[in-house]
Structure 1
């Protein structure tokens, strides 16, 4: 058994009529009901168009059909669309105190005094072949300290002494 479908609701938007008089004043109706300016305010004038539309459309949250009827009998019609509602911006997070860089000291003994010591961060590991040789393929664009599964190792290598020190950072 089919469910009965509800009757479609006809779409209707308010009709705002602005009757412009010879002296430049304007009489406004919204769906046939008069819309007057605030108490003690001067009468509506042609220059009040923005205020009239804002008031008639609840600050443009509702679309409206607008008819402007000039004193000479000319009629202009337009549809004023509702503005999109802007979501409130998320509050900016509290600025955190800038954390200084975390420095770690890596040291080892066995170097010749004053020799050039290379410092290397281990980016991966490889196995030696049955011949005792090892090979590593390095992609310079992909070199990073986090490719070793989160464990960071540093090598200090003495270029004269050949001393190699390998340390894991905490």
Structure 2
């Protein structure tokens, strides 16, 4: 009697292609289909890489092959591995009453009326290299007030005007 072997199925992972344009915007396709930013959001930019990968891989639950095609013709390829998702741990039960969040208003003048203003919380500082390049590694644990003095800096950045305002929260 002849033994029947199951047919092998080729492994396939999505191909995410990022075409970086001269102006810094990025056109994205996933397996040839365009991937657009959310409606009314600004165009994808090089700094949107994390958001693009999260969207293309369903928050990194599936692996993907990523190809970045720079405007100067260079190409970079990498494989983004899927991450295991752990079930969220329930918060420890506390006998203290829950406190309401405290909101702080951050304001600045000089923006173009109606322009999109980005809001960012400063997580640290870095220096530019001798070539003018700056690099920042973000530690999620540092997204809270600075342990040294409880100081939180907020940046307002006008996407049209380029106006940048720094404010410290009390």
SS state at 1:59 partner: coil
Aligned residue for 2:37, secondary structure, equals coil
Q: Secondary structure at the match of 2:49?
A: helix
Bigger radius of gyration:
1
Q: Which runs of 5+ in 2 are unaligned?
A: 96-170
Q: SS at 1:61's partner residue?
A: coil
Q: Report the Cα offset of residue 78 of structure 1.
A: 0.3
Q: Secondary structure, in 3 states, of the residue corresponding to 2:72?
A: coil
Q: What is the CA distance between 1:88 and its match in structure 2? A: 4.2
The 5 Å alignment of 1:1-170 reads 1-89=1-89
The TM-score normalised by the length of structure 1 is: 0.51
Q: Report the TM-score, using the length of structure 2 for normalisation.
A: 0.51
How far does residue 3 in structure 1 lie from its aligned partner after superposition? 4.2
The Cα offsets for residues 96-126 of structure 1, whole Å up to 9 and x where unpaired, read as: xxxxxxxxxxxxxxxxxxxxxxxxxxxxxxx
Q: SS of the counterpart of 2:29?
A: strand
Report the secondary structure of 2:59's partner residue: coil
Query: Taking structure 1 as reference, are residues 3 and 27 closer, same or farther at Cα in structure 2, changes over 3 Å only?
Result: same
Please identify runs of 4+ aligned residues in structure 1 that moved more than 2 A: 87-95
Task: Report the Cα distance in structure 1 between the residues aligned to 2:88 and 2:56, rounded to whole angstroms.
Answer: 24
